[in-house]
Structure 1
Amino acid sequence: MRTTIETLAEEAEQQIRDRVWEVSDQDRAVAAKAAADLRTAVGPPDGQELLAVIDRLRHLREALAALAHVHGRLAWFLGAPAPP
């Protein structure tokens, strides 16, 4: 997973340098909101291991809902590390 994310970050940086992806203030705001929503939905990593499976699934559903408003290149960037 780490290699996938590092590769994705390098590709995103290249797209930004090449001006293929111009990160707007709106992109930054949406990314910040998605990160905050994900932190709220998922909580600390060590806390997830203590939860029942049904509660972990509820947190996953809430985390996915937090990303529902993301689109365009930002959606590509955030969604690319997910397994097919």
Structure 2
Amino acid sequence: MDMGTDMEGLVREAERLIREQVWVLSLDDRTVAAQATADLLATVGTPESQQSLPAVDRLEHLREALAAVAIALAHVHGRLAWFLGASATALTPVLHWRAMPTRAS
């Protein structure tokens, strides 16, 4: 699986839990989620804006997105913590990606 597939599965599971009322979002959960959404949009921007950026800048934005998720995670518990923690785990490969291609020796 890749990062995108992992995130899609996570979102589907969260939507199912909410739809079945297993996970009922509290006002605090909604506030933290809204702030995380705003932070992610400010960090990453739109898909169109990402397409015009060099790879090094896109990678920087992904790493900032991971930081925004981690900050949101520090403010919650319960199912929202599960969701944000799993999101952070899905995004961790960006910490291992190189900003610049490896030079040939």
Task: Please name the residue that 1:30 is paired with.
Answer: 32
TM-score by length of 2: 0.60
| Aligned-residue offset at 1:37 | 0.2
- Segments of 5+ residues of structure 1 without an aligned counterpart are none
Alignment partner of 1:8 is 2:10: no
> Could you give the per-residue CA deviations for residues 40-69 of structure 1, whole angstroms, max 9, x where no partner exists?
000110111111111011101111111113
Indicate the SS of the match to 2:33.
helix
Larger Rg: 2
Correspondence 1:58-73 to 2 at 5 A: 58-68=60-70, 69-70=72-73, 71-72=76-77, 73=79
- How far the C-alpha of 1:76 sits from its partner, in A, is 2.3
Q: Which runs of 5+ in 2 are unaligned?
A: 93-105
Identical-pair percentage: 46
Higher relative CO (Cα under 8 Å, sequence separation at least 6) belongs to: 1
Quickly say closer, same or farther: Cα 1:35–1:83, change in 2 above 3 A: closer
RMSD value over aligned CA atoms? 2.5
TM-score by structure 1 length? 0.72
Q: Provide closer, same or farther for how the CA distance between residues 52 and 3 of structure 1 changes in structure 2, counting only shifts above 3 A.
A: closer
Listed one character per residue, the Cα deviations across residues 8-50 of structure 1 (whole Å, up to 9, x for unaligned) are: 3112332xx24xx442211111000000000000011011111
